[in-house]
């Protein structure tokens, strides 16, 4: 670069830093200013020779992350300083000890939580999951780690255009799987929405562009409509002497896509794309009354959809979110979503946990969020499984809808949807959960696998003699309950195994046999067990009794086990020879359809059962642990999960041949039930298109039908032709290809 270009860069860096400091001026004293300046100078020095993929100086990234932390999340000087140096340890020679020496232990701990794990991992271990767990381990000490990480992820997503497509897909999938739900749970709704929209941009670029274009084309009409609707609302509210502001908005790109998929409808059929937010000025003592007054005014003039009322003021969400949501029929026959909240509630909704600090004394939602963080802390403390299991369980808690359950004294507990009395008992206290004998719901005895509903009042019956059972794991949905049950079962199993070891050694000693390592290995193989611990456990449980031990010793003496082992090895060799002979046989001309990797190699693969890709589909390969390469459709329900956990095992793939071969695909067909519809459908598929129907199941209810049809086609184009013809049938509203649910 020329000296002039470098000078311009230095000027831009200085300008961005000044802008950051201006945004912080009301929240820092001289000591804070010095802290942020020192952090900036360290980051600038550490990243001096580094550039981003876009070519710009790397220091732009920490500066932007610090700005997001300050302006969009609303954190203070120490968080901003930490954001400026969040990549220093990971990307330079500075160590955590250096950070502690130059700043303090508190900031060093935050940076540690933000620093990725380095080193070589086994293929079976997901590095992404390990890093996510490491970051969450700091949650119980300092939630700022999560908030800064979300800011870091947001800026990376905003600046991802210059990255290669496979990197874009990996990062976007990981964001959609983990970080967007996390932002939602913490209450950062704006950040959550932007992360979802940007993720869709890279996971489904064509769909994203289509929705953006459609929204752009309808923007002027939407603005006109919402403006007229808002004017009417303003007139009615002013007549009641209410102070308020109104924000107009349309649904996010991702939420529109989600609705299109869940309802099986096109863009034009999404009925509530319009939304307004009414923010009422109120005092803490009148917040609830004022919100319901606004609701009353709105519904006096516009007919509400009673099924769409959501009251998160009486019972705030676990992340502290408070608001009234309703959907009303506006002018010209359009449904409009109306959100009603106070100024304080709006700031909490915009800035999540950070805003709670400001309103801590006034907000009942703070305790709800603290409860959630305590639950996460408990999950971290009780989970000793692998990182992938932990992340999946954590995400399940993040994504679950919430239900509101009352204790016998009327205290409120927030639980994941589909929770059972066992989940409820563990939410009260681990000891109560472990001793749960039964439960009463609304005064009536129910089984422990009973699914609770919002508003239920639950009483737990305990017994000191009760112990957790294996089948309890099938009843619970919350991570806390599941992990505590696993831990208790493992502890009990360990105690039984220790007793079993003593029993086995005593029995072997009685028949004058020394329990050597080799003998124990032979016993493990003989009883078809995993290890010696399982052997001891089964002896302790009397599953392996004296008769079986005598049979083992008898077979040992007769050399039976050696004979059996040789037979198995011999059979394995025979199978291996047979497999080699099959490999030598010439493959049919239509065996290879896909090439993998940038060098387009022909490799053996199996189509994944979850999505059944067919020629012409956008596909990718996934290297499994035991079954070779599985071929998945790009929109497979497992796609986001695989990309977020195992990006290193994803292979680029594409079809190179279109030779005739048969593939089965499932179609979902919906519409208005008419006489002779099934005959018309089967006639078009079988007679007009000459396509074989493998199965058909169509059911009608109140004049509406929905059905599944499994057809056998040659490729994607063939399938699309079938879909197009079916859509032309009178009364058919939608025909979509269905993929299986995620494993």
Question: Which class for 443: exposed (0-12), middle (13-18), buried (19 or more C-beta within 10 A)?
Answer: exposed
Contact (CB, 8 A) for 200 and 208 = yes
- 3-state DSSP call for residue 264? coil
Contacts made by residues 608-612, CB under 8 angstroms, sequence distance 24+: 608/632, 608/633, 608/636, 608/638, 609/740, 610/636, 610/637, 610/638, 610/739, 610/740, 610/741, 610/742, 610/743, 611/635, 611/636, 611/637, 611/638, 611/739, 611/740, 612/663, 612/664, 612/665, 612/666, 612/739
Q: Catalytic pick from 9, 32, 56, 90?
A: 90
Q: Catalytic pick from 32, 91, 389, 459?
A: 91
What does the block give as tokens for 572? 């394995």
Integer Cα distance of 538 and 503 in angstroms: 11
Question: Which class for 99: exposed (0-12), middle (13-18), buried (19 or more C-beta within 10 A)?
Answer: buried
Integer Cα distance of 666 and 696 in angstroms: 9
Contact (CB, 8 A) for 290 and 322 = no
Token pair 């609830």 in the structure block, residue:
288
With vertex at residue 92, the alpha carbon angle to CA 20 and CA 160, rounded to the nearest 5 degrees, is 60
330: which DSSP letter?
A: -
Integer Cα distance of 346 and 183 in angstroms: 16
Question: Has 91 been annotated as catalytic?
Answer: yes
Question: Has 104 been annotated as catalytic?
Answer: no
Q: Which residues pair with 249 in a beta bridge?
A: 275
- 3-state DSSP call for residue 469? coil
Contacts made by residues 120-126, CB under 8 angstroms, sequence distance 24+: 123/623, 123/625, 123/648, 123/649, 124/625, 125/386, 125/387, 125/388, 126/387, 126/388, 126/391, 126/645, 126/646
Integer Cα distance of 685 and 165 in angstroms: 38
Give me the half-sphere count of Cα atoms (radius 13 Å) on the Cβ side of residue 173. 24
Residues 6+ apart with CB under 8 A from 361: none
Integer Cα distance of 631 and 358 in angstroms: 51
- 3-state DSSP call for residue 132? helix
Question: Which class for 743: exposed (0-12), middle (13-18), buried (19 or more C-beta within 10 A)?
Answer: exposed
Contact (CB, 8 A) for 393 and 482 = yes
Question: Which class for 491: exposed (0-12), middle (13-18), buried (19 or more C-beta within 10 A)?
Answer: exposed
Backbone angles phi, psi at 468, to 5 degrees: -60, 150
- Beta-carbon neighbour count of residue 209 at 10 Å? 12
The set of catalytic residues is 90-91
């Amino acid at each position: 670069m020329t000296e002039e270009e470098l000078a311009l860069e230095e000027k831009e860096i200085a300008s961005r830093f000044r802008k950051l400091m201006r945004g912080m001026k009301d929240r820092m004293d001289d000591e804070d200013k010095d802290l942020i300046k020192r952090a900036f100078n360290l980051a600038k020095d550490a990243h001096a020779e580094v550039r981003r993929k876009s070519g710009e100086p790397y220091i732009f990234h920490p500066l932007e992350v610090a700005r997001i932390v300050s302006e969009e999340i609303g954190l203070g000087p120490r968080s901003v300083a930490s954001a400026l140096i969040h990549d220093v340890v990971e990307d330079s020679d500075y160590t955590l000890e250096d950070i502690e020496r130059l700043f303090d232990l508190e900031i060093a701990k935050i940076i540690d939580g933000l620093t990725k794990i380095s080193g070589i991992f086994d293929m079976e271990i997901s590095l992404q999951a390990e890093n996510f767990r490491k970051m969450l381990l700091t949650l119980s000490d300092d939630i700022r780690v999560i908030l800064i990480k979300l800011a870091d992820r947001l800026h990376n997503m905003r600046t991802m255009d210059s990255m290669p497509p496979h990197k874009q897909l990996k990062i976007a999938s990981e964001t959609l799987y983990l970080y967007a739900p996390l932002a939602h749970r913490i209450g950062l709704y704006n950040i959550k929405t932007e992360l979802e929209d940007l993720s869709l941009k890279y996971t489904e670029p064509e769909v994203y562009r289509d929705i953006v274009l459609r929204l752009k084309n309808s923007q002027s009409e939407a603005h006109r409509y919402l403006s007229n609707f808002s004017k009417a609302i303003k007139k009615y509210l002013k007549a009641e002497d209410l102070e308020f502001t109104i924000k107009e908005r349309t649904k996010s790109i991702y939420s529109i896509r989600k609705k299109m998929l869940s309802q099986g409808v096109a863009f034009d059929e999404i009925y509530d794309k319009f939304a307004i937010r009414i923010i009422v000025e109120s005092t803490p003592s009148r917040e609830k009354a004022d919100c319901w007054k606004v609701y009353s005014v709105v519904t006096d003039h516009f007919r509400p959809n009673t099924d769409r009322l959501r009251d998160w003021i009486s019972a705030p969400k676990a992340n502290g979110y408070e608001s009234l949501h309703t959907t009303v029929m506006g002018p010209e026959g359009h449904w409009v979503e109306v959100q009603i909240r106070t100024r304080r509630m709006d700031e909490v909704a915009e800035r999540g946990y950070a805003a709670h600090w400001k309103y801590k004394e006034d907000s009942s939602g703070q305790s709800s969020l603290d409860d959630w963080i305590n639950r996460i802390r408990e999950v971290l403390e009780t989970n000793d499984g692998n990182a992938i299991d932990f992340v999946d369980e954590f995400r399940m808690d993040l994504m679950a809808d919430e239900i509101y359950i009352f204790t016998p004294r009327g205290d409120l507990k927030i639980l994941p949807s589909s929770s059972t009395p066992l989940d409820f008992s563990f939410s009260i206290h681990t000891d109560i959960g472990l001793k749960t004998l039964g439960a009463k719901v609304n005064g009536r005895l129910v089984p422990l696998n009973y699914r609770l509903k919002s508003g239920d009042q639950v009483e737990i019956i305990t017994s000191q003699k009760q112990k957790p059972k294996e089948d309890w794991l099938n009843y619970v949905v919350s991570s806390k309950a599941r992990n505590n049950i696993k831990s208790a079962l493992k502890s009990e199993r360990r105690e039984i195994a220790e007793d079993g070891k003593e029993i086995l050694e005593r029995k072997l000693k009685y028949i004058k046999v020394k329990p050597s390592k080799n003998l124990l290995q032979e016993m493990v193989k003989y009883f078809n067990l995993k290890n010696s611990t399982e052997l001891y456990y089964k002896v302790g449980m009397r599953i392996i009794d004296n008769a079986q031990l005598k049979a083992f010793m008898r077979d040992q003496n007769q050399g039976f086990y050696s004979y059996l082992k040789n037979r198995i090895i011999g059979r394995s060799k025979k199978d291996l020879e047979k497999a080699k002979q099959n490999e030598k046989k010439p493959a049919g001309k239509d065996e290879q359809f896909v090439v993998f990797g940038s060098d387009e190699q022909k490799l053996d693969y199996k189509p994944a059962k979850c999505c059944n890709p067919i020629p012409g589909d956008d596909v990718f390969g996934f290297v499994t642990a035991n079954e070779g390469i599985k071929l998945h459709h790009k929109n497979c329900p497992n796609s986001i999960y695989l990309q977020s956990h195992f990006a290193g095992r994803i292979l680029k793939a594409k079809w190179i041949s279109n030779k005739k071969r048969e593939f089965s695909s499932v179609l979902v067909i919906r519409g208005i039930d008419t006489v002779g519809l099934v005959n018309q459908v089967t006639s078009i598929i079988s007679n007009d298109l000459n396509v074989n129907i493998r199965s058909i199941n169509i059911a009608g209810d109140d004049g509406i039908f929905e059905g599944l049809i499994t057809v056998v086609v040659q490729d994607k184009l063939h399938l699309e032709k079938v879909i197009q013809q079916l859509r032309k049938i009178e009364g058919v509203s939608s025909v979509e290809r269905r993929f299986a649910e995620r494993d």
